[in-house]
Amino acid sequence: MDQILRIQMGGAAGPTAKTEPVGAYAGMGGRALTSTLVAQEVPPTCHPLGAENKLVIAPGLLSGSAAAMSGRISVGCKSPLTGGIKEANSGGQAAQVLARLGYAAIVLEGKPADDTLYRVLVNQHGVKIEPDNSLRMLGNYDTVEKMKALFGDKIATISIGQAGEMKLSGASVAFSDMELRPTRHAGRGGVGAVMGAKGIKVIVLDDAGMPMRSPADPEKFKAANKAFVAGLRQHPVTGEGLPKYGTDVLINVLNEAGALPTHNFTWGRFDGAAKVSGETMAETEIARGGKATHGCHRGCVIRCSGTYVDKDGQFVSKQPEYETVWAHGPNCGIDDLDAIAALDRLDDDFGLDTIEMGATIAVAMEAGLAKFGDAQAAIKMVKEVGKGTPLGRILGSGAAVTGRVFGVERVPVVKGQAMPAYDPRGVQGQGVTYATTPMGADHTAGYAVTANILGVGGSVNPLKPEGQIELSRNLQIATAAIDSTGMCLFIAFAILDQPETFQALLDVINTFTGLQLTAADVTALGKSVLTKERAFNAAAGFTSKDDRLPDYFKKEALAPHNVTFQVSDEELDQVFNW
């Protein structure tokens, strides 16, 4: 990965592509590369949909290699949803393929003069950019089928659906999975709208004829990778719970903890939780001939995904993840797995962040547009987005916009981005992360559920403010570093509890790259990434007042524990004082 591919969409003679050495970005991958490049090359005050913004797509430092769990990809830009810097993370095949093609990143720059849509082909022979208006307002599934017909079924795709074309702030970027289905999404922050603003509908990646990336020390790398995999398989979360039941195993866990946001963050428990739990989903998938265990990219050994089929055994969607099940389920009062899977399929096809859409529908329900629990009304709302109706464009712009349009006070957002599936009153460390991460409300930025709920990496009382600042700070630092390697964030469960597995991870990185990173170096990397992101946001106009939860979380007690968010503003301002 010694080159950066820059695609300029605003040239007088049309789009152009050029490759250049990584230069100052050498040694960076994933989030470290996307955030550094955006911080250095994008004016913080630019319009997110304007020519000055850039969309950076970067595999991780270890992507394209035999390193287990290394196939995640980062998408970075100035966010249309938050107005700040953004890194959205996804699985799928693109990271492995892009890395094997030798690219550390694809950077989309400029803006086309008209509304022509383009497709891009990247292979060992170079880059071809061609207009293709036949793709206009197609969903991701139809777009990928057209690419398969043109380029065969050994490709990987990066695409947007109708939401991205309409430049809606809830739009995602879709990445194809191992079966060449657009089921993996960089969902958060409206990154799909930025791709739409660049006029690119789909990027096709073909690594035919390209070898797997080779480690600096093959024998030591092989041994380190083996030890790393063994550690993942030994841990009860990564070796048992996630492979057997998927991420949706958390439904019953969070419901029991009284922190499962229900009816637009009104309560912490949902009466229908068992109907939409990971256990029930796995049982349903297996009974219908689907799969309860599946990897989102080659090299995944946790395999926390699955395949959801209908009652006739026909494919509907990938196994809806916990965040998706919660967003379209308990948060909207819906306890029907088939309806949730249908909503997941629509979101993936239209190119929408499932978290943002679920939160938005719940806000719309609170506004009276539908009743909580009405699954068909929820499906109709998402279809409105795909059609591009006035109501659909409002909903597709996210929960904050929808709340303003319909006069709803209780809108669960930070920096304009909707909160995921953990009520910050029931998981106070997660509330600290929501408030302070540069990304807007984002559970993955510092997953305090580990110590607050699961007892991983220690234990911190989820209902008390004590210890939450340090917990979130340390996890935000660690996460920024993990996101830079191309590793799946779920490795954190094992490396937090098993020192030997953390050492094996360091050995994997070092024997592959030839570096000699220590634990201190990993911490320094995480701090460096966060520092750049916060500096960008400050230059864009963010202040400490933006590092806050909505007031009602401090005033409305959450049942069943009847607790409010108790971490003070003064404490929140200490998160990044390292």
pLDDT band with cut points at 50, 70 and 90 for residue 212: very high
Q: What is the mean pLDDT of residues 33-54?
A: 98
pLDDT at 204 over 80: yes
pLDDT at 333 over 70: yes
Q: What is the mean pLDDT of residues 361-373?
A: 98
Q: What is the mean pLDDT of residues 160-168?
A: 98
Q: Which of 102-106, 222-226, 304-308, 441-445 has the lowest mean pLDDT?
A: 304-308
SS (H, E, C) 109-178: ECCCCCCCCEEEEEECCEEEEEECHHHCCCCHHHHHHHHHHHHCCCCEEEECCHHHHCCCCCECEEECCC
Q: What is the mean pLDDT of residues 393-413?
A: 98
- Phi and psi (nearest 5°) for 32? -60, -40
pLDDT band with cut points at 50, 70 and 90 for residue 245: confident
What are the Cα distances from residue 340, in Å, to 333, 345, 543, 563?
11, 9, 37, 30
- What value does the mean pLDDT of the chain take? 96
Residues of the chain with CATH 3.60.9.10: 3-205
CATH homologous superfamily, domain 3-205: Aldehyde ferredoxin oxidoreductase, N-terminal domain (3.60.9.10)
- 248 torsion bin: left (phi>0), alpha (psi -120 to 50), beta (else): alpha
Q: Which of 26-35, 291-300, 367-376 has the lowest mean pLDDT?
A: 291-300
Q: What is the pLDDT of residue 423?
A: 98
What percentage of the chain exceeds 70 in pLDDT?
Answer: 100
Q: Do residues 486 and 60 touch, judged by C-beta distance below 8 A?
A: yes
Q: What is the pLDDT of residue 1?
A: 65
pLDDT at 158 over 70: yes
Q: What is the pLDDT of residue 432?
A: 98
Instruction: Output the CATH code of domain 215-244+424-578.
Output: 1.10.599.10
Pairing of strands 156-159, 3-8: unpaired
Q: Which residues contact 504 (CB under 8 A, 6 or more apart)?
A: 224, 225, 227, 228, 230, 231
pLDDT at 177 over 70: yes
Residues of the chain with CATH 1.10.599.10: 215-244+424-578
Q: What is the pLDDT of residue 564?
A: 98
Pairing of strands 103-109, 3-8: parallel
pLDDT at 302 over 90: no
- Phi and psi (nearest 5°) for 265? 60, 40
Comparison of pLDDT for 301 and 166, the residue scoring more: 166
Q: Do residues 346 and 324 touch, judged by C-beta distance below 8 A?
A: no
Neighbours of 134 (CB within 10 A): 11
pLDDT band with cut points at 50, 70 and 90 for residue 308: very high
Instruction: Name the token pair of 449.
Output: 């559920």
Q: Do residues 110 and 125 touch, judged by C-beta distance below 8 A?
A: no
Indicate the pTM of the whole model. Answer: 0.96
- 488 torsion bin: left (phi>0), alpha (psi -120 to 50), beta (else): beta
pLDDT band with cut points at 50, 70 and 90 for residue 295: confident
Instruction: Name the token pair of 241.
Output: 């719970």
- The tens digit of pLDDT for each residue in 489-523 reads 888 899 999 999 999 999 999 999 998 999 999 99
pLDDT at 299 over 80: no
- The tens digit of pLDDT for each residue in 529-566 reads 999 999 999 999 999 999 999 999 999 999 999 999 99
Q: What is the pLDDT of residue 294?
A: 78
For the domain made up of 246-421, the CATH class stated in words is: mainly alpha
